[in-house]
Amino acid sequence: MNGYKAFYNGREIDVYAATLLAAKNQAVAQFKAPKSKAHMVSVALCEIDGATRNQGRGHCQGPRICGDKLGMTDVFRKYQIRIAKQTLLYSDVGARIMGGMTKDEARRVLADDGWSPTRITGYENRRAPA
């Protein structure tokens, strides 16, 4: 059994399953995510057959640490950053029309990724190519 960390709607749980698909299905059931939102459940491998794969930490720290140590990337986080960057290029009205992430949420996502406020403001002042 492998250990996984599952994320959905700001919450996280630990899941043990034989495969990634089984872990995701188990996480969807535990989070009670509707079928239409099942794609929003993100699962990261943290343990392989009980051996923690985050180099000395006592427990899994989430997909950015565990996934990177296993040579994987967290696809969900990568696209979340990509969407945040694109959202900042929209006008305020354009961001509301497009729906999804607001500009404040986009700034928060980029700040969590290590962007400085100056870098975020500079990126936001760029314009999207026409």
**pLDDT given for residue 92 in this prediction:** 84
Is residue 59 domain-shared with residue 15, that is, in the same domain? yes
For residue 15, report the phi and psi dihedrals to the nearest 5 degrees: -135, 140
69 and 15 inside one domain: yes
Residues 13 and 60 placed together within one structural domain of the fold: yes
In order along its 130 residues, the chain shows pLDDT tens digits of 888 899 998 888 999 999 999 999 999 999 999 999 899 999 988 888 766 655 444 445 544 444 444 444 567 778 888 899 999 998 888 888 888 888 999 999 899 888 899 999 888 888 655 4
Residues 65 and 16 in one domain: yes
Query: Do 36 and 92 sit in the same domain of this protein?
Result: no
In whole angstroms, give the CA distance from residue 127 to residue 24: 38
Residues 9 and 62 in one domain: yes
Task: Give the pair of three-digit tokens for residue 102.
Answer: 């607001």
Judgement on whether residues 67 and 6 belong to the same structural domain of the protein: yes
Query: Which residues constitute the domain of residue 47?
Result: 2-73
Domain count, the chain: 2
- Among 5, 82, 81, 73, smallest CA distance to 42 is for 5
Instruction: Give the pTM.
Output: 0.44
